[in-house]
């Protein structure tokens, strides 16, 4: 199938590569054109040019502001021939903004699906992401075979914005686990135990988790090249605070963890992998 793909950051590039590996042809666009280097795909001159090439267009952007720009800018996605086409948004958006995106796409004759993913670069390259999907069921059934190429687990939550809200809730656990593991590691080192042994004990004890398994080598080698940045999880936790405020729910751990990730900006490590929060404790 010929697909469109917009947004070639760390995660987007890994997902695009996976789709190519599965035999799909891609037309891609990225604001910074150099990020398309190395991808065996046609590079479009604008988002509108992507629309005119593909029936299904994937978005994988940093935030809702970037998604809105791609949709509505001059030569944006919605200025092309969008009638009857599916726009699948893999971005983690603000839950209020996704409702605007549904309206914009519907008005232009297209079909918007929100499909935020759980997982980062490595599972993306293996087709092992978890994908949360909301939106029109007919549209979901149409794109499901392609989503199965990138996702090991698919969860269809029909009501608009529900998938986005659940992604934010998931990232509360992601950020909390990572911060707790990093702090535990720092304390263990401080009392004189070797880093490798601490992580081995945690991995068969209270720290055993997908997060520790995914980030153990980064912590051991202190290689914090970015799979999922601290800036991104900080953004997501900020959106989660807005959700808690709207629901009039307290957010104890989420608020603390968000402020810890805020410190990564002050330390100049916000663009490193979110496991680099270890540096704050060390």
The catalytic residues are 167
* Contact indicator for 101, 71 with CB cutoff of 8 Å: yes
**Do 89 and 117 touch, CB atoms closer than 8 A?**
no
Mapping DSSP to helix (H, G, I), strand (E, B) and coil, where does residue 30 land? coil
Q: Counting Cβ atoms within 10 Å, is residue 177 exposed (0-12), middle (13-18) or buried (19+)?
A: middle
Question: Would you tell me the crossing angle of helices 252-266 and 162-190 to the nearest 10 degrees?
Answer: 70
Q: In the 8-state DSSP scheme, what is residue 33? A: G
Rounded CA-CA distance 19/150 in Å is 7
Q: On the CB side of 196, how many CA atoms lie within 13 Å of its CA? A: 1
- CA–CA distance, 235 with 94 (Å, rounded to integer): 9
What is the distance, to the nearest Å, from the Cα of residue 122 to the centroid of all Cα atoms in its chain?
A: 13
CA dist list (Å): 70 to 156, 195, 262: 25, 44, 27
């Amino acid at each position: 199938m010929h697909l469109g793909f917009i947004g070639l950051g760390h995660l987007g590039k890994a997902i695009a590569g996976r789709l190519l590996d599965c035999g799909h042809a891609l037309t891609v666009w990225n604001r910074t054109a150099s990020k398309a280097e190395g991808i065996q795909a046609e590079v479009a001159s604008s988002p509108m040019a992507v629309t005119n090439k593909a029936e299904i267009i994937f978005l994988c952007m940093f935030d809702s502001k970037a998604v809105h720009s791609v949709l509505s800018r001059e030569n944006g996605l919605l200025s092309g021939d969008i009638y009857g086409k599916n726009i699948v948004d893999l971005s983690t958006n603000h839950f209020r903004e996704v409702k605007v995106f549904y309206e914009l796409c519907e008005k232009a004759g297209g079909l918007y699906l929100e499909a935020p993913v759980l997982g980062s670069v490595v599972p993306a390259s293996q087709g092992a992401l978890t994908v949360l999907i909301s939106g029109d069921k007919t549209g979901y059934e149409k794109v499901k075979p392609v989503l199965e190429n990138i996702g090991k687990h698919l969860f269809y939550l029909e009501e608009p914005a529900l998938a986005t809200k659940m992604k934010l809730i998931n990232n509360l656990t992601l950020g909390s686990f990572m911060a707790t593991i990093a702090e535990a590691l720092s304390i263990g080192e401080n009392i004189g135990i070797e880093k490798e042994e601490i992580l081995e004990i945690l991995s068969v004890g209270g720290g055993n988790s997908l997060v520790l398994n995914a980030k153990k080598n980064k912590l051991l080698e202190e290689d914090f090249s970015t799979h999922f940045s601290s800036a991104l999880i900080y953004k997501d936790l900020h959106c989660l605070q807005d959700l808690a405020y709207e629901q009039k729910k307290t957010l104890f751990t989420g608020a603390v963890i968000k402020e810890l990730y805020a410190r990564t900006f002050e330390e100049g490590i916000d663009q490193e992998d979110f496991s680099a929060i270890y540096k704050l404790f060390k």
